[in-house]
Amino acid sequence: MFLTQRHLLGIEQLAPDEIIAVLDLADRYANQNRQRSKLTKVLKGMTQVNMFFENSTRTQASFELAGKRLGADVMNMSLQASSIKKGETLIDTALTLNAMRPDILVARHPNSGAVGLLAEKVDCAVINAGDGRHQHPTQALLDALTIRRAKGRLQSLCIAICGDIAHSRVARSNILLLGQFDNRIRLIGPPTLMPSQVEQFGVEVYDDMAMGLKDVDVIMMLRLQRERMNGGFIPSEREYFYRFGLDGHKLAQAREDAIVMHPGPMNRGVEIDSEIADDINHSVIGEQVEMGVALRMATLHLLAQSLNSSTKRMQAS
Amino acid sequence: MDGTLFSNARIIDPERGEIECGWLLQQRGSIVATGIGEPPAREGCEAIDCVGMCLAPGLIDAGVKVGEPGERHKESYQSAGAAAVAGGVTTIITRPDTKPAIDSPETLEFVKRRANTVSMANFLPMAALTKGRDGKEMTEIRLLQDAGAAAFSDCDRVIADTKVFARALSYARSCNALIIAHPQDQGLSVGATATAGKFASLRGLPAVSVMAERIGLERDIALVEMTKARYHADQVTTATALPALKRAKEGGLDITAGVSIHHLTLNSLDVADYRTFFKVKPPLRSEEDRCAAVQALSEGLIDVISSMHTPQDEESKRLPFEEAASGAVALETLLPAALRLYHGGQLSLTRLFQVLALNPANRLGLPAGRLRSGASADLILFDPDKPFVVDRHSLRSKSKNTPFDGQTLQGRILGTWVGGKRRFDGR
């Protein structure tokens, strides 16, 4: 199995069978990660650079661990502090880095489309680890993996995505991915946090959470960022929790076997009740983190394989 | 040699709304006579056989940014003039959104001196309406008028303080000055780089509702009604704002409106994968809005097409979309792009030259934009059909940020005369 694209910038560039291939491989890595010996040599000799223009602890750690378990040399660059402050442009940073000959670049940037711009200027494979409000494809893939493991399937599900949809790249990638597999997708949130004309994405939109959660199989909560509260999008944290926080009463509307997901980091008591976050009957939030490493190993593996084969083809011709 | 005699031309007369085969004589910078059919014999004139090509008044482009003072590396008067005549623009009305803003008679005089020494086209400067374009204190409107300001505008900055704007409008009325404003609600549009809709949502771009334009225009109309000022909206680009414009015009207010060539020929989907050459202000609209603007132009509701020529260097465009500068160069592509509307059957050639030459001339009180005898001999000769592929690197502008790069346009300028002098030869 090879991916048809050199980079992973957005979900729309993956065909459904490619998504399944990534998830299948990730399943294998998930099992391997539970063994004492977790190392393989798939990326041996390769250099992976994690380039984060925006703060990240979890995603960066997840990619770092994934690369290391596959045998790559991993370097982390935290760029919000260094060159950007010195006035270097994104493209110059990319060209500088490209000259150091990395094989895989994992990039996050606060602006939509910025990782795609970077990918145009470098010779290696680029993975989008989140660009502005645009996309976060590995998060959607790991969510799909978590759903498939919990539910046994990835289609014919009713999935609710709740909270700040407008500013969420996770929501966009998830809508695109889950929409490819014949699922019903509901978006729940206040209209101030809903993108315009979002109903044209083939989703149902609710501003009443209890109604939106009726009989759903999967509940995806999104993080409400602190700056939104100051930006006048919602009146207060407590009103937000009252209307859109996931509590026992609202959860009771969903199917009995519904799972609760959250990409983290959580604001307990703002978008999710603490007890539900820890409820082992519903919450798969810990599993998501575990699947994150496995899924990123699978992504790195497949992109590296495509890189190798194209290099061989080039040498042969 | 005394004058030029153009014969065998398709003469486009926007004033009479007619196209006829005939001749035109210019002498000492003015049009002397025109006629149908064969020209009378005339000695001592340069004779130009137009072989059936179109002869029309040169374009008058209200809203051109030249980078002087402050950003001469993006566009100088020399390069802007060369680009203008190559595009068939004989008069450019320059914007005051320079660094520093053209907000005092001294800056205006500097700019005039620069332009008159090096520019190939006519040019008329606009001045800022408020000092530093800060929207707080009005500029010295009468002194600026005496120094040569053709109109007053804070360009893409909206004067958010209604009281300041009302005072400026009312004071400008006493000077009979034309105010050119950017109708936009500042609160709604802050931070936006795209028009709200499915495309912006999918791309995750901060977006503004089309209502921001309508709110801005409605506010301005109310202020014009209150102050009786002479007002021109630089760009009306949305269907939702048009009924307000119609009402204001029918109510007898002294209001006109323009639209940029980009909003008539491109839509929001052209941004595609964050192509920053398509980032303009206001952002490109939906196809429905584009069609509504074209319709309004053909019906006479919108009066003027301008290029909104905004040169940006590579560094300001090679950035993530949200961080990239707005604007596109358009002087050289203005006529060929506008001819798309003619070739598409939406506008006649005479209407095209009304909105590109006659109407802006009338609004600014210029003796150009028409072919009547006595008018300035600002003329262009062009082939409306000839196709060519736009190559941004061959543009005469110092900045190459055209959204039409690589596209095929129709319409080639064969010659441009400014004040009777040949300034461009494209044969």
ipTM: 0.90
Whether residue B199 has pLDDT greater than 80 = yes
Which tens digits make up the pLDDT trace of A216-249? Answer: 999 999 999 877 667 789 999 999 999 999 999 9
Taking CA–CA distances from B203, the nearest residue in chain A reads: A134
CB contacts under 8 A, A 41-60 vs B, are none
Q: Is A136 among the residues known to form the active site?
A: yes
| Average pLDDT value for chain A | 93
* Interface residues from chain B to A (CB-CB < 8 Å): 196-198, 200-207, 209, 273-274, 315, 318-323
pLDDT confidence of residue A82: 55
Question: CB–CB of A193/A231 below 8 Å?
Answer: no
Question: CB–CB of A241/A266 below 8 Å?
Answer: no
Q: What does each C-alpha distance from B424 to A116, B378, B410, B416 come to in angstroms? A: 42, 12, 18, 5
Question: CB–CB of B45/B3 below 8 Å?
Answer: yes
Residue B204 is nearest to which of A89, A134, A201, comparing CB atoms? A134
From chain A, the residues in CB contact with B211 under 8 A are none
What is the mean predicted confidence (pLDDT) over B256-273? 97
Residue B203 is nearest to which of A134, A197, A200, comparing CB atoms? A134
What is the mean predicted confidence (pLDDT) over B79-98? 97
CB within 8 Å: B319 and A89: yes
Three-state secondary structure readout of A153-166: CCCCCEEEEECCCC
Dihedral of CA atoms B157, B161, B165, B167 in degrees, nearest 10, equals -150
DSSP H helices, B7-148, are 77-86, 105-118, 141-147
What is the mean predicted confidence (pLDDT) over B52-70? 96
| Average pLDDT value for chain B | 96
Q: Which residue's entry shows tokens 């993080």?
A: A223
Taking CA–CA distances from B271, the nearest residue in chain A reads: A113
* A2 touching B (Cβ < 8 Å): no
pLDDT confidence of residue B226: 97
What is the mean predicted confidence (pLDDT) over B391-408? 97
Q: Is A57 among the residues known to form the active site?
A: no
CA A10 from centre of chain: 10
Rounded CA-CA distance B38/B21 in Å is 9
The secondary structure of residue B354, as a DSSP letter, is I
Which tens digits make up the pLDDT trace of A162-197? Answer: 999 999 999 999 999 999 999 999 999 999 999 999
What is the mean predicted confidence (pLDDT) over B169-181? 98
CA A87 from centre of chain: 29
Which tens digits make up the pLDDT trace of B291-322? Answer: 999 999 999 999 999 999 999 999 999 999 99
Which tens digits make up the pLDDT trace of A21-33? Answer: 999 999 999 999 9
From chain A, the residues in CB contact with B197 under 8 A are 196-197
CB within 8 Å: A196 and B197: yes
Strands A218-221 and B379-389: unpaired
Q: Is A249 among the residues known to form the active site?
A: no
| Cα R_g (chain B), whole angstroms | 21
Residue A9 Cα, gap to closest chain B Cα (Å): 11
Is residue A55 very low, low, confident or very high in pLDDT (cuts 50, 70, 90)? confident
CB within 8 Å: A112 and B320: yes
Q: How many CB atoms lie within 10 A of CB A186?
A: 19
Q: Is A133 among the residues known to form the active site?
A: no
pLDDT confidence of residue A198: 94
From chain A, the residues in CB contact with B315 under 8 A are 89
Provide the phi-psi class of A128: left if phi over 0, else alpha when psi is between -120 and 50, else beta. beta
Provide the phi-psi class of B359: left if phi over 0, else alpha when psi is between -120 and 50, else beta. alpha
Is residue A81 very low, low, confident or very high in pLDDT (cuts 50, 70, 90)? low
Is residue A86 very low, low, confident or very high in pLDDT (cuts 50, 70, 90)? low
Q: Is A58 among the residues known to form the active site?
A: yes
pLDDT confidence of residue A78: 80
The secondary structure of residue B269, as a DSSP letter, is G
Rounded CA-CA distance A199/B185 in Å is 26
The secondary structure of residue B271, as a DSSP letter, is G
The phi, psi pair for B69, rounded to 5°, reads -80, 160
What is the mean predicted confidence (pLDDT) over A253-278? 95
Is residue B1 very low, low, confident or very high in pLDDT (cuts 50, 70, 90)? low
Percent of chain B predicted with pLDDT > 70: 100
Percent of chain B predicted with pLDDT > 90: 97
Whether residue A308 has pLDDT greater than 90 = no
Question: CB–CB of B333/B412 below 8 Å?
Answer: no
CB within 8 Å: B197 and A134: no
Taking CA–CA distances from B193, the nearest residue in chain A reads: A112
CB pairs under 8 A between A and B: 65
Is residue A84 very low, low, confident or very high in pLDDT (cuts 50, 70, 90)? low
Catalytic residue among A36, A41, A85, A86: A86
Question: Sign of torsion, CA A95 A101 A103 A106?
Answer: negative
Residue A197 is nearest to which of B201, B205, B321, comparing CB atoms? B201
Of the two residues A227 and B152, the one the predictor is more confident about is B152
* A87 touching B (Cβ < 8 Å): no
Q: Which residues of B362-389 are buried (b: 16+ CB within 10 A; e: fewer)?
A: bbbebebbbbeeebbbbbbbbbbeeeee
Residue B320 Cα, gap to closest chain A Cα (Å): 5
pLDDT confidence of residue B310: 98
Tokens coding A237? 């944290």
Crossing angle between the packed helical segments A16-33 and A285-316, to the nearest 10 degrees = 110
Which tens digits make up the pLDDT trace of B122-151? Answer: 999 999 999 999 999 999 999 999 999 999
What is the mean predicted confidence (pLDDT) over A66-82? 88
CB within 8 Å: A90 and B202: no
Is residue A38 very low, low, confident or very high in pLDDT (cuts 50, 70, 90)? confident
Tokens coding B303? 């009066």
* A179 touching B (Cβ < 8 Å): no
* A90 touching B (Cβ < 8 Å): yes
